[in-house]
């Protein structure tokens, strides 16, 4: 099988309209290419979501290098605002445009190309596993979690795993991720009693109670950061009554907060704290307040060591930059993989991800393939 061109594969993947949760042909394409290269491929679809598991080598090999990525992309927004078709993979002046160009069809293409070339030119003593999901950009309920559940059932095990998300803010090679902050959202509703604003004593206004609660939550300094994490944050993202009238006290008020937290907290400890604040405000205003919480992921850290050293060394060798070991940014599917094996993330510059005219310099795709090849070579050396 001839070497895989990661730039061409990126273009082919972009031309698959895999707006989450649509498969769009992207996983079908990858399964065909990997199968032709000798990878054993299994579709692990669940809940209407398409996922692909691929392994080269024997099940149970003591040394198994894993890769996790996704082919689903966010919606394109206003198509008329794009300079080039969002699924055209048009290349202008060495820049490829298209939805998923950076997040993260280029990363998947670069790793698939590196993995295939690696096992064909220098077959390792060990195994390679790829877990590619179509459910990273949405709720992530039936994506990487489905693949990990499948691996548990089938006794498949990765020794370590690399996630190919874009990790570099501005320059190729400047940052890799060794952990992520936790993320949780809480929805609140204060129930009062509707009435005329000229007779407030006949109503129970829920807005002051909600304002007090939101102030107590937002004013609290959660921490000042930890050894590898910035300070935790809580943002009030909406307060709403749905009340268009100026002379009516509404019956209820709703609000939502989003919290990004470090390793000094857990979703449970923060939920307990918010419940305490809620109870205090509820008692002070004599109004019932409800809360619903969703923890999208707990904070985690892969301590600096052999895996991060391996990736950092390969990145520096190909880019001349020693990547910063970071835990910044939002969530990724590494939050699921960390329960299975040590995991780090490295990928392209992410400046244009999710934007109109998302794009990637084609030279960076080749560079990323070279980095991934070096990682595999050094890991199995």
The answer, yes or no, to whether residue 329 has pLDDT greater than 90, is no
Section 136-144 average pLDDT: 93
Section 66-85 average pLDDT: 97
The answer to whether 195 and 202 have CB atoms below 8 angstroms apart is yes
The answer to whether domain 6-180+299-380 and domain 182-297 are alike in fold is: no
Fold of 182-297: Alpha-Beta Plaits (3.30.70)
What percent of the chain stands above pLDDT 90?
Answer: 97
Q: Where are the alpha helices (DSSP H) in 231-345?
A: 267-285, 306-319, 334-337
The answer, yes or no, to whether residue 235 has pLDDT greater than 90, is yes
In CATH terms, is domain 6-180+299-380 a member of 3.40.630.10? yes
Q: Where are the alpha helices (DSSP H) in 175-230?
A: 206-219
**Spatial separation of the C-alpha atoms in residues 236 and 119, rounded to whole Å:** 50
Of 375, 378, 379, 368, residue with least CA distance to 113: 368
* pLDDT on residue 338: 95
Section 69-81 average pLDDT: 97
Residue 60 confidence class, pLDDT cut points 50, 70, 90 = confident
For residue 251, give Cα distances in angstroms to 189, 191, 192: 10, 6, 5
User: Does the pTM exceed 0.85?
Assistant: yes
Q: pLDDT digits over 271-303, tens only?
A: 999 999 999 999 999 999 999 999 999 999 999
**Spatial separation of the C-alpha atoms in residues 269 and 298, rounded to whole Å:** 11
Residues with active-site annotation: 72, 136
**Spatial separation of the C-alpha atoms in residues 380 and 119, rounded to whole Å:** 11
The answer, yes or no, to whether residue 2 has pLDDT greater than 90, is no
Q: pLDDT digits over 113-130, tens only?
A: 999 999 999 999 999 999
**Spatial separation of the C-alpha atoms in residues 379 and 161, rounded to whole Å:** 11
Residue 53 confidence class, pLDDT cut points 50, 70, 90 = very high
- As given in the structure block, the two tokens for residue 114 are 């590196």
Domain residue ranges of the chain, discontinuous segments joined by +: 6-180+299-380, 182-297
């Amino acid at each position: 099988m001839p070497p895989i061109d990661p730039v061409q594969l990126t273009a082919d993947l972009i031309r698959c309209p895999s707006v989450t949760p649509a498969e769009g042909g992207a996983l079908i394409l990858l399964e065909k290419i990997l199968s032709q290269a000798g990878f054993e491929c299994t579709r692990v679809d669940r809940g209407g979501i398409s996922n692909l598991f691929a392994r080269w080598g024997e099940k149970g090999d003591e040394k198994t290098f894993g890769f996790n990525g996704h082919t689903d992309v966010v919606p394109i927004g206003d198509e008329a605002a794009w300079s080039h078709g969002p699924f055209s993979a048009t290349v202008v002046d060495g820049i490829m445009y298209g939805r998923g160009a950076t997040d993260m069809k280029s990363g998947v293409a670069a790793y698939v190309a590196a993995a295939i070339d690696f096992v064909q030119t220098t077959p390792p003593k060990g195994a390679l596993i790829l877990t590619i999901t179509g459910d990273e950009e949405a709720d992530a309920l039936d994506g990487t979690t489905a693949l990990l559940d499948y691996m548990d059932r089938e006794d498949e095990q990765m020794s370590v795993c690399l996630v190919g998300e874009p990790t570099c803010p501005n320059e190729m090679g400047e940052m890799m991720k060794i952990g992520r902050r936790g993320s949780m959202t809480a929805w609140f509703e204060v129930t009062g009693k509707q009435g005329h604003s000229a007779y407030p004593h006949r109503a129970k206004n829920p807005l002051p109670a909600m304002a007090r609660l939101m102030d107590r939550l937002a004013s609290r300094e959660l921490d000042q950061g930890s050894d590898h994490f910035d300070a935790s944050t809580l943002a009030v993202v909406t307060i709403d009554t749905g009340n268009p009238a100026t002379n009516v006290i509404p019956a209820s008020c709703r609000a939502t907060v989003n919290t990004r937290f470090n390793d000094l907290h857990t979703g449970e400890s923060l939920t307990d704290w918010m419940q305490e604040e809620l109870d205090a405000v509820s008692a002070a205003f004599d109004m019932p307040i409800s809360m619903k919480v969703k923890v999208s992921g707990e904070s985690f850290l892969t301590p600096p060591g052999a895996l991060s050293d391996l990736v950092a060394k390969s990145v520096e060798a190909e880019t001349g930059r020693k990547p910063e070991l970071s835990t910044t940014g939002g969530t990724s599917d590494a939050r699921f993989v960390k329960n299975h094996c040590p995991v780090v993330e490295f990928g392209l510059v992410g400046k244009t991800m999710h934007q109109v005219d998302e794009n990637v310099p084609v030279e960076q795709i080749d560079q990323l393939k070279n980095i991934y090849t070096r990682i595999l070579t050094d890991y199995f050396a």
